[in-house]
Amino acid sequence: MQKLEDSLRYRTLGKTGMKVTSVAFGCMITSDASVIERAADLGINYFDTARVYQGGNNERMVGAALKSRRQKVYISTKSGGRTKEAALTDLDTSLRTLGTDYVDIWYLHGKTHASDLVPELLEAQEIAKKAGKIRFAGFSTHGGFEDVIPAGIALKHFDVILTSYNFTMGSSIDKILDDAKAAGIGLVAMKVMAGGFRTAKAGTRQYDVLKRDGAFLSALKWVLRTPRIDTAIPSMTDSDQLDQNVTAMTSQYGSTDEKLLAAQLRHVGPLVCRGCGGCEGVCSKGLPTSDLVRFAMYADGYGQFALGRERFLELPDEQRAVRCSDCSTCPIRCPNGVDVVGRVARAQELFG
């Protein structure tokens, strides 16, 4: 049987030159430092946290767990500060809480629009670099990829981008990621198991089935199958998850994985909008179709009828009056297999 340590594989994180394990560690929901310590001892060498996680308690735990290993590992954290002063104050707090003089990567947290990458935050990262408090500058993004990632590339400021990337997204942002890669920007993937697994909670039957079938591992292998991603940071709460995820570094993504993920996509695919924007501007009546798909999801998926109706009623009168049945044909074809017309009609039926 192969030792876990033999499963380690390294990739270079863009122009940073950092040799990171292709599976790194997202510490966000980790509760016990022993899992982080064990990961570091196994050879995982990149750990990600953020100022906001658990009100700062996450940084405290990560710092304590890695204190004696600081020279052997890379640590990143993030600030959601909206001004230079707020971000730099966050950074100082992070360093103090982590118990370190510097972080390897400091991300601007959760940027969705090009306009979020404001000059004063970039300046904050420059100041922090010059002060030796950070080695590299990055930003994280969970959406709006088509807008924020090209803008981030064009600024020629960022060393690393931390982005959502999982099998439910297909190839929708591959071109953008390739552009970032070509610019020398290191790419870190997060939410690698989110997508279809978002509703599967530990302890539930669905979770157990997915875990038993190995779908979680398949989702991670899907991300690692492409060299455009330098490392992934799945969240891990226990040693079993850690052991499983480590094996993803040397496991080939194959037909079994494909079948498992296809089954999961069939489960969520027709209902859940992936936010690719492919249907926007296509409706001849001018409907914001992805929004309407989501409004229907509020009612059908989460029992939040009132919320769905509230959002629907915020639409302009002329959009609320439209019925899909008014058209004999519809040009919308979702590249991700969402039944857009059916879901929009469902929203009209429920809320109109």
Partner 1 sequence: MKLEFAFAICAFCAPAAIAAAPAPSCSLVPGWAQEGPARSYVPDTLFDYMDGNAEGYLIYEFVRMNGVNCKKGGDTIVFDVSEMSTPEMAWGIFASNRDPRLPLEKVGTSGQILTRRAIFAKGKYFVELAGNPASDADLRAFMLAMEKRIDGPTELPAAIGWFPEEKLDKSSIRLVPESVLGLSQLKRGFAASYDFGKAFIVKEQSADSAAAVMNKLRQRFSGATPVKVADEAIQATDKYLGRMVFFRKGPFLGGYADVAEGQDPVVLAATLAARIP
Instruction: Give residues in contact with partner 1 (CB under 8 A).
Output: 28-35, 37-38, 41, 50, 52-57, 78, 80, 109-110, 112, 140-143, 198-199, 201-203, 235, 237-241, 272, 294, 297-298, 301-302, 304, 307, 310
Residue 235 CB, shortest distance to partner 1, in Å, is: 7
State which residue, 156 or 201, has the beta carbon closest to partner 1: 201
Residue 251 CB, shortest distance to partner 1, in Å, is: 20
The radius of gyration of the chain from alpha carbons, rounded to an integer in Å, stands at 21
Which of 47, 49, 10 has its CA nearest to residue 25? 47
Q: Report the C-alpha gap between 284 and 88 in whole angstroms.
A: 48
Give the number of C-alpha atoms closer than 13 A to the C-alpha of residue 60, restricted to the C-beta side.
6
Residue 74 CB, shortest distance to partner 1, in Å, is: 19
Residue 345 CB, shortest distance to partner 1, in Å, is: 20
Quote the distance between the C-alpha of residue 178 and its chain's center. Answer: 17
State which residue, 90 or 253, has the beta carbon closest to partner 1: 90
Contact 69, 97 (CB under 8 A): no
β-bridge mates for residue 108, sequence order: 79, 139
Contact 121, 153 (CB under 8 A): no
State which residue, 93 or 226, has the beta carbon closest to partner 1: 93
Residue 272 CB, shortest distance to partner 1, in Å, is: 8
State which residue, 15 or 54, has the beta carbon closest to partner 1: 54
* Opening angle at CA 257, ends 253 and 259, nearest 5: 140
Residue 66 CB, shortest distance to partner 1, in Å, is: 13
State which residue, 174 or 240, has the beta carbon closest to partner 1: 240
State which residue, 167 or 298, has the beta carbon closest to partner 1: 298
Q: Report the C-alpha gap between 336 and 170 in whole angstroms.
A: 8
